[in-house]
Amino acid sequence: MNVSRNSTRFHHSKTEMAVGATLLSIIMLSAFLGNLLTSMIFLRKPHLRTTTNISVLFLSISDILMAVLVMPFSLASLVKGKWISTQEACTFNAWLLYSLIGVSLITMTSTAVIRFFCVVKPIFHHQYIKPKIVAVGISILWLTTSFMFGGLALLATSERRGYSKKRTFCFLAIRGNIAKVLNYIGLSLVVIAGLLIFLAYFKVFRFVSRHNQTMASNLQQGKPSHIEEARITKTLVIVVLGFVSCWAPATIIQVIDIFPRFRMPAFASLIQAVSIFAISCINPFIYGFTNRRLRREYLELLRFMLPLGVRVAPVGGSWKFISRKNRM
C-alpha cells in the first residue's frame, strides 16, 4: 500500500527540494550534535545534575530522538519524493513525531514548575524535590504521553493516515466524534501547560525582583544567589520563547490551510516542517549564548573531544579553534 496519498497531485520543485533538504540536514545535524553535547555535560559532571538540569537533560534526549528517529525519514522521503518505507513504519513515525512534541511540551512545563519551587519555595524544594524524584516523575509523564499517542496511532490504523509530501512527514488523522474529543483534550492540555509555564516564570521573576530590591546591600556584599537564579530562569524563558517562535509559523500555516478557499504555496508547507523540526536544535544554542556556566562546559567538552593539535581559545573577545602550532 502506498502511504503517499497525493503522490500524483503534488510535487515540490527542484529548488524547493534542494533548499528543504539543505535546511533539514543542517537542523538534523545541529539537533543531534548540540543536544548530544548538552547531555554529555550533565552526565559527565555530577555536580551539575540539579533538578532543573535533569529536566533540561530530558529535553535534550527528546530532541536527540527526534533527530535520529524522525528527521532522517523526512529528509530521505523529501529527496526521493515519496515515503521510503512501509505503512506501518509511517504510522510509527507519526506516533514518534507527535509523542516527542508532546513530551517536549511536558518537559518544559515541568521545568517551569521546578524553577518555581526552587526559587519561590526553596525549603519545600530542598526537602521534597530531588534530582532522582524529578527523573522518575518526568519519566512517568513521558510514558503516559507515549501511551496516549500510542492509542492515537492504533485508532489511526482504521482511519485516514499517510505521508504528506508537502510537509515531508507522516500524519495521523482521525475523523468523527473521536477526533473532536481528542482535539479538545489536546487543546486543553496545551492551554493548561501554557498557563502553568507563564504563571511559574511570572512568579519567579516577581519574587526575584522583590528580593533584589529589599536585599540589595547583601547582594553587593557577595551574595548573588538570586542573581544567578534569575539568570538561569531567563535562559529557560528564552527556551520557551524559542519553542513558541518555531511553533507560531507552523500553527499559522496549518490554520490557513484548513480553509479551502486559501491555497497555500508549496514552500509554505516546507516552512511548516522546518519550523517544527527547528525546535529540536535551538536549545543548545540558547544555552551556549545565555548561560555562562554552560558555555564554559561546552568549551571544556570541546577541548576534550578535539584532536590533540587543535584547541579552543579566546581570540579577540570570542572563542576560536586554533592549532597548537599557531600557539607556539
Assess contact for 63 and 277: CB atoms under 8 A: no
pLDDT tens, position by position, 137-146: 999 999 988 8
User: Whole-model pTM?
Assistant: 0.81
- Which of 23-37, 61-75, 85-99 has the weakest average pLDDT? 85-99
What local confidence, expressed as pLDDT, does residue 13 receive? Answer: 79
Average pLDDT value for residue range 143-158: 72
Q: Which residues pair with 160 in a beta bridge?
A: 173
The grid coordinates listed for 65 are: 530522538
Q: Name residue 219's amino acid.
A: L
pLDDT tens, position by position, 214-265: 655 444 444 455 666 667 777 778 888 888 888 888 878 777 766 666 676 7
Q: Which residues pair with 233 in a beta bridge?
A: none
* Residue position matching grid coordinates 497555500: 264
- Number of Cβ atoms within 10 Å of the Cβ of 280: 29
Provide the pLDDT confidence category of residue 176 given band limits of 50, 70 and 90. Answer: low
What local confidence, expressed as pLDDT, does residue 22 receive? Answer: 93
Average pLDDT value for residue range 194-216: 79
Dist CA 245 CA 237 (whole Å): 12
Decide if pLDDT at 158 tops 60: no
Decide if pLDDT at 322 tops 60: no
* Residue position matching grid coordinates 513558541: 244
The grid coordinates listed for 220 are: 553587593
Domain ranges of the chain: 14-249, 291-328
Write down the mean pLDDT value for the chain. 78
Dist CA 256 CA 254 (whole Å): 6
Decide if pLDDT at 199 tops 70: yes
Helix (H, G, I), strand (E, B) or coil at 312: strand
- Which of 50-54, 169-173, 218-222 has the weakest average pLDDT? 218-222
What is the share, in percent, of the chain residues with pLDDT greater than 90? Answer: 18
Residues near 124 by Cβ (< 8 Å), separated by ≥ 6?
A: 117
What local confidence, expressed as pLDDT, does residue 35 receive? Answer: 93
The grid coordinates listed for 293 are: 556556566
What local confidence, expressed as pLDDT, does residue 201 receive? Answer: 87
Dist CA 299 CA 187 (whole Å): 40
pLDDT tens, position by position, 304-315: 776 554 555 555
Dist CA 102 CA 62 (whole Å): 10
Strand runs labelled E in the chain: 160-164, 169-173, 310-315, 318-323
* Residue position matching grid coordinates 526553596: 122
* Residue position matching grid coordinates 597548537: 324
Torsion, Cα of 173, 263, 6, 74 (10° steps): -70
The grid coordinates listed for 69 are: 528517529
Burial (Cβ within 10 Å: 0-12, 13-18, ≥19) of residue 64: buried
What CATH number has the domain spanning 14-249?
1.20.1070.10
How far is the first Cα of the chain from the last one, in angstroms, to the nearest whole number?
A: 64
The phi-psi region of residue 222 (left if phi > 0; otherwise alpha if psi is between -120 and 50; otherwise beta) is left
Decide if pLDDT at 16 tops 70: yes
Average pLDDT value for residue range 71-76: 93
Provide the pLDDT confidence category of residue 133 given band limits of 50, 70 and 90. Answer: very high
Q: Find, among 68, 3, 83, the residue nearest to 29 by Cα.
A: 68
Provide the pLDDT confidence category of residue 75 given band limits of 50, 70 and 90. Answer: very high
Q: How many CA atoms lie within 13 A of 87 on its CB side?
A: 12
Average pLDDT value for residue range 156-182: 71
pLDDT tens, position by position, 260-293: 666 767 778 888 888 889 989 988 888 877 777 7
The phi-psi region of residue 26 (left if phi > 0; otherwise alpha if psi is between -120 and 50; otherwise beta) is alpha
Decide if pLDDT at 96 tops 80: yes
Task: State the DSSP code for 47.
Answer: G
Decide if pLDDT at 108 tops 80: yes
